[in-house]
């Protein structure tokens, strides 16, 4: 006897490019809509996300071609993805690598597979030989898919994804190329003693006679963003997935974080007056926004401004840490990251932070990983970059 067909048919997933301002707004705010109620998710500020993703605001659109796609089911958006042709990256890597990013979706294969396929087809049409990601929208910004740490405290400029999304990327034919690790360092009274730096090393004395450390005022950080950019590009040039930061990208980043900055947040180390290392920490914006939602009410905005002015932060993230290539492989070069962080800790004693996040650190970066794990045995977050060849 033949069985009757089930009256239930799963709703079809449609993938459509973003073509209007209304769809763009939906694309940018989608994570807080689809992830609402998931354990560990805290909605980022819409204002911050518009700075990252709005073509009228994000600096990367000056040198990249980017197409956004939305996944629709039953008239509702359930996922998003960006397909990215970054001309500066292709020029630097000397390979036609396309990228995907802003990848957020309900963790269901019926949604993630066609989203990835839409991005891949768009990239293939533009000559890409492989696709790498996720990045939002650059390796100099939010990078990787969260694999572990979904229920740890949220951190500024670190993406959040539901458990299982990384597995679904792998099921789409992608392979892991790099893990990005983040470590939670509690600022206990003995924190400076825990840094493994030879005793007696002081800037301007003995073996460090030609080395000086200085902080910059907020005004100086903004005015000297070009020095910061050159040092960052030099220090990170050998890292996986690195793309040189353009001057307008650095200016945009500094402008964005300027309201958060204090002189204690940045230390620059010079050798004979020439910058050779730097470290920058920024306060965790989620400390003052996590209870306000992505689109605060008028009262919420008043609370936000008050907390910002009063610096009501309890945590921070080391977002920049690097040493000039000319010192790479030297004893001094191996010491400078520890010295830079120790200097930051000393200068930041007046700040209210209880812990800082060291991250992200590339899993293959043995030196930085060993430094972090001399202070914190294990990472509390793991993000992953994937890659897949494209058939021509």
Instruction: Please determine, for residue 194, whether its predicted confidence score (pLDDT) is greater than 80.
Output: no
**What pLDDT is recorded for position 51?**
93
Name the phi and psi angles at 381, rounded to 5.
-140, 150
User: Residues 24-38: pLDDT tens digits?
Assistant: 999 999 999 999 999
Q: CA 154, CA 67: separation in Å to the nearest integer?
A: 28
- The secondary structure of residue 377, as a DSSP letter, is S
Question: Helices 331-347 and 366-375 sit at what angle, rounded to 10 degrees?
Answer: 40
Which pLDDT band, with edges at 50, 70 and 90, does 167 fall under?
very high
Among residues 206, 191, 148, the alpha carbon closest in space to that of 356 is found at 191
Q: CA 274, CA 271: separation in Å to the nearest integer?
A: 5
Section 109-127 average pLDDT: 98
**What pLDDT is recorded for position 115?**
98
Q: CA 359, CA 156: separation in Å to the nearest integer?
A: 11
How many residues in the chain? 392
Q: What integer best gives the mean pLDDT of the chain?
A: 91
Q: Cβ atoms within 10 A of the Cβ of 315, count?
A: 22
| Residue of higher predicted confidence among 166 and 227 | 166
The predicted model scores a pTM of 0.92
Section 50-71 average pLDDT: 96
Q: Strand 130-133 relative to strand 97-105: parallel, antiparallel, unpaired?
A: parallel
User: Residues 281-292: pLDDT tens digits?
Assistant: 999 999 999 999
Helix (H) or strand (E) holding 131: strand 130-133
Section 73-97 average pLDDT: 97
Cβ partners under 8 Å of residue 119, min gap 6:
67, 69, 81, 82, 83, 98, 100, 131
**What pLDDT is recorded for position 1?**
40
Among residues 185, 144, 164, the alpha carbon closest in space to that of 39 is found at 164
Compute the Cα dihedral for 39, 287, 376, 325 and give only its sign.
positive
């Amino acid at each position: 006897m033949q069985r009757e067909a089930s009256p239930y048919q799963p709703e079809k997933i449609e993938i459509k490019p973003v073509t209007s301002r209304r769809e763009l707004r939906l694309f940018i705010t989608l994570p807080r809509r689809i992830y609402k109620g998931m354990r560990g998710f805290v909605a980022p500020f819409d204002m911050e996300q518009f700075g990252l993703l709005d073509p009228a605001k994000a600096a990367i659109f000056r040198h990249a071609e980017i197409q956004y796609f939305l996944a629709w089911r039953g008239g509702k958006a359930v996922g998003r993805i960006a397909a990215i042709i970054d001309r500066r990256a292709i020029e630097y890597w000397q390979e036609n690598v396309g990228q995907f990013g802003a990848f957020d979706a309900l963790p269901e294969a019926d949604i993630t597979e066609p989203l990835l396929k839409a991005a891949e087809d768009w990239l293939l049409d533009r000559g890409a030989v492989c696709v790498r990601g996720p990045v939002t929208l650059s390796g100099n910004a939010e990078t990787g898919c969260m694999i572990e740490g979904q229920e740890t405290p949220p951190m500024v400029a670190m993406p959040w994804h539901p458990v299982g999304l990384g597995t679904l990327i792998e099921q789409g034919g992608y392979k892991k190329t790099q893990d990005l690790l983040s470590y939670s360092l509690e600022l206990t009274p003995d924190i400076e003693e825990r840094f493994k730096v030879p005793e007696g090393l002081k800037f301007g004395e003995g073996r460090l006679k030609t080395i000086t450390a200085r902080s910059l005022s907020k005004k100086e950080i903004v005015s000297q963003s070009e020095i910061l950019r050159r040092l960052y590009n030099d220090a990170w040039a050998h890292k996986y997935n690195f793309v040189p930061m353009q001057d307008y990208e650095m200016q945009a980043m500094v402008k964005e974080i300027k309201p958060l900055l204090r002189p204690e947040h940045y230390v620059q180390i010079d050798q004979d007056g020439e910058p050779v290392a730097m470290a920058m920490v920024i306060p965790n914006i989620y400390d003052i926004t996590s209870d306000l939602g992505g689109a605060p009410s008028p009262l919420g905005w008043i609370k936000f401004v008050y907390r910002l002015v009063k610096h009501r932060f309890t945590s921070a993230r080391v977002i920049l840490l690097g040493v000039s290539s000319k010192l790479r492989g030297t004893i001094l070069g191996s010491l400078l990251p520890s010295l830079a962080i120790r200097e930051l800790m000393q200068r930041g004693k007046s700040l209210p932070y209880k812990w800082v996040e060291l991250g992200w650190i590339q899993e293959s970066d043995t030196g930085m990983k060993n430094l972090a794990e001399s202070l914190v045995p294990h990472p509390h977050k793991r993000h992953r970059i994937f890659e897949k060849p494209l058939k021509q």
